[in-house]
Amino acid sequence: MRKWLRKSFVTLVTVLTFGMVSPFPAVQANDEPVDKPNKNNAFESKQAVQKDNIEISYHEAQLNLPPKQQFLKTAMEIGEQQSWQKFGERIGPVIENEFETIILPKIEKAILEVTNQFSDEDIQYLSISQKPGTGKSEKIFHIYNEKTGKDIIRFHVRRDLRPLEGYWFNFHYHTYHDQYQAHHELGEIFWDKNTPPHWSN
C-alpha cells in the first residue's frame, strides 16, 4: 500500500471511530514497525528482578536472625576478610585451602562458645577490630566490648620454626577469662623450609 493512501486510511479510521481505535497496531504511520519486546531484554529484566528479590530476601533474613546468630555471622565475615588481608598475596594463596577447611570452622566454634556467655542485650556491645597486625605481629582480629574497651577474644597466628622441618603457622586464640595467658589451639599449617614473608605482603 502506498504511503499517502495508508496515511489517508489511518486518518479516515481515526475520524470515523472518534479516535477510539488505533489502526495498524503493528505499523506506525511513518512505516516503521512498532518495537516488539526483545526476548533477551525480557530475560535480563527477569534475572534482575530475581536477583533483587534474592538480595531483599537475604537482607530480610539477616534482620530476622536472633542477635547471637547475627553477631556470629558478622564476626565470621569480617574475621575472614581480615585474615586474607593479613595473609597478603604471597601467603594467602598457599594456605587458602587448609585455612578454610581446618581453621575457619574452629574460629567459628570459638566465637560461638565465647559469645554464648553474653545476653542478647549485651552482645550488641561487642565489636570486631578493623585492622590485622602486619609485619611479624600475631594479631588476626579481636572481638572487644565497646562499653569496657576490653578484648573478649583474640585470634592470633604465630610463625614457628621447627628444626629440620621448617616453618609452621600456629593458629590460636586467647580469652579474657585468664587475662589472655592460655593459648587455645586452632590448628597448624605448614609453610616451607624457607622463611615466610611478613604479614600483609
Q: What confidence tens digit (pLDDT) does each residue in 122-165 have? A: 999 999 998 999 999 999 999 999 999 999 999 999 999 999 99
Would you say the pTM of this structure is higher than 0.85?
no
State the residue for C-alpha cell 598457599.
Answer: 94
Measured N-to-C along each axis, helices 104-115 and 67-98 cross at an angle, to the nearest 10 degrees, of 160
Domain definitions of the chain by residue range: 3-60, 68-192
| Cα 144 from Cα 128, distance rounded (Å) | 6
pLDDT of residue 62: 53
Q: Which residues of the chain have pLDDT under 50?
A: 1-5, 8, 15, 18-61
**Do residues 129 and 141 make contact, with C-beta atoms less than 8 angstroms apart?**
yes
pLDDT of residue 39: 39
pLDDT of residue 53: 41
